[in-house]
């Protein structure tokens, strides 16, 4: 039975959500030409720290689902081209991980792989997303496959770009430097070195000013860069790391997805997720088809641009993802 107090709580929560949407719309005005999407927010339960997570949900609700998951130091802005091109025929859902984009950025949140995967699971269940094509980049691969191992029956297809969801024995020096005590924290959170450097180190051609502004928009202060640093610290390189066991579980679960159509859309000039990672994916998922973008870097969606969208569209058309006329 719903009580008056319950109704008051519900109204108050709706009011808070509406306030966040209004604030998000105002924040996005400066990049509306690149990112013209309506903001949505999901409130995690108290067990999930009660944080508000931003997502966009474009396209017909009864259309096939594309679930886009970004990495570090990006946000759902990374997927704007694909969503604009595909949202007439697909339900395009793109999340901002907690600490990223327009989501809450709490200081006391456990910024760990397992928690990010659980967040994706909560939102996917709340939206009742099924027959999902998981489209993932960078940390989105590990987070997405963490969600997939929890809800394998909801995953129909995989599209993976310059990412990993398995253990690695090495770390690029440019990443390792950001983990140096004190120096890394000051560089990443104080100077925004990680996100700023990515705007020229993660691409093979200069980003237009409006696009660069879009990537950096959410990371404009020490407080708003907490996840940028936390993701770097959460890379598990040894068994004592708090995310090591989760990564092992994810890696061990990959074989169950060998029956899913899979595409590896890869920027071949990536100095972080090099072609060796693409080859590792092919070993885990031998059914995967590859599209190599020879002149693209880590931000393959930027360097390959329309060619990336065309490859994604072609994959969906050939593997049952595009069922609407």
Write the pLDDT tens digit of every residue in 108-118: 999 999 999 99
Whole-angstrom distance, CA of residue 229 vs CA of residue 144:
20
Question: For residue 7, what pLDDT is reported?
Answer: 77
Buried residues in 163-184 as b, exposed as e (16+ CB within 10 A): bbbbeeeeeeeebebbbeeeeb
Residue 130, CA distances (Å) to 56, 64, 123, 135, 299 in order: 17, 8, 12, 14, 28
Write the pLDDT tens digit of every residue in 222-258: 999 999 999 999 999 999 999 999 999 999 999 999 9
pLDDT at 9 over 80: no
Burial class (CB in 10 A: 0-12, 13-18, 19+), 196: middle
Question: For residue 301, what pLDDT is reported?
Answer: 98
Q: Are residues 244 and 67 in contact, defined by beta-carbon separation less than 8 angstroms?
A: no
Q: What is the mean pLDDT of the chain?
A: 94
Question: For residue 99, what pLDDT is reported?
Answer: 98
Write the pLDDT tens digit of every residue in 93-110: 999 999 999 999 999 999
pLDDT at 31 over 60: yes
Sheet with strand 289-293: strands edge to edge = 39-43, 52-58, 91-95, 65-69, 132-138, 155-163, 262-267, 289-293
- Report residue 1's pLDDT band, with 50, 70 and 90 as the boundaries: very low
Question: For residue 6, what pLDDT is reported?
Answer: 64
Question: For residue 11, what pLDDT is reported?
Answer: 82
Domain assignments of the chain as residue spans, ordered by start: 10-318
- DSSP of 153-214: GGEEEEEEEEE--S--S---HHHHGGGSTTHHHIIIIIS-HHHHHHHHHS-SSPPPHHHHHH
Which of residues 175 and 7 earns the better pLDDT score? 175
- Report residue 3's pLDDT band, with 50, 70 and 90 as the boundaries: low
Please indicate, yes or no, whether the overall pTM of this predicted structure exceeds 0.85. yes
- Report residue 13's pLDDT band, with 50, 70 and 90 as the boundaries: confident
Q: Domain 10-318, CATH 3.40.50.10860 — does that match? A: no
Main-chain dihedrals φ then ψ at residue 131, nearest 5 degrees: 50, 50
pLDDT at 271 over 90: yes
Question: For residue 325, what pLDDT is reported?
Answer: 47
- Report residue 65's pLDDT band, with 50, 70 and 90 as the boundaries: very high
Average pLDDT of span 291-312: 98
Write the pLDDT tens digit of every residue in 125-175: 999 999 999 999 999 999 999 999 999 999 999 999 999 999 998 899 899
- Report residue 47's pLDDT band, with 50, 70 and 90 as the boundaries: low
């Amino acid at each position: 039975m719903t009580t008056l107090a319950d109704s008051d709580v519900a109204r108050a929560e709706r009011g808070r959500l509406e306030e966040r949407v209004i604030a998000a719309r105002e924040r996005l005005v400066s990049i509306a030409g690149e990112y013209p999407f309506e903001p949505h927010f999901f409130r995690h339960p108290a067990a999930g720290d009660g944080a508000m997570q931003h997502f966009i949900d474009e396209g017909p609700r009864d259309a096939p689902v594309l679930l886009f998951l970004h990495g570090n130091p990006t946000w759902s802005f990374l997927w704007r081209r694909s969503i604009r091109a595909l949202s007439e025929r697909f339900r395009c859902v793109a999340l901002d991980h907690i600490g990223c984009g327009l989501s809450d950025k709490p200081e006391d949140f456990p910024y760990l792989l397992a928690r990010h995967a659980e967040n994706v699971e909560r939102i996917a269940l709340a939206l009742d997303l099924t027959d999902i094509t998981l489209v993932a980049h960078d940390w989105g691969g590990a987070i997405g496959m963490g969600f997939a191992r929890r809800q394998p029956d909801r995953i129909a297809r995989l599209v993976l770009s310059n990412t990993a969801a398995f253990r690695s024995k090495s770390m690029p020096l440019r990443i390792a430097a950001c983990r140096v005590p004190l120096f890394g924290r000051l560089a990443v959170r104080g100077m925004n070195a990680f996100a700023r450097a990515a705007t020229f180190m993660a691409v093979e051609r200069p980003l237009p000013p409006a696009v660069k502004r879009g990537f950096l928009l959410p990371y404009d202060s020490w407080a708003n860069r907490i996840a940028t640093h936390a993701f770097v610290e959460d890379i598990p390189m040894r068994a004592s790391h708090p995310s090591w066991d989760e990564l092992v579980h994810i890696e061990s679960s990959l074989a169950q997805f060998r029956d899913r159509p899979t595409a590896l859309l890869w920027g071949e000039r990536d100095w972080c997720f090099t072609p060796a990672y693409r080859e590792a994916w092919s070993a885990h998922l031998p059914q995967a088809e590859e599209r190599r973008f020879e002149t693209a870097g880590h931000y393959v969606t930027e360097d390959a641009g329309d060619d990336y969208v065309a490859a994604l569209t072609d994959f969906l058309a050939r593997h049952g993802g595009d069922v609407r006329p």
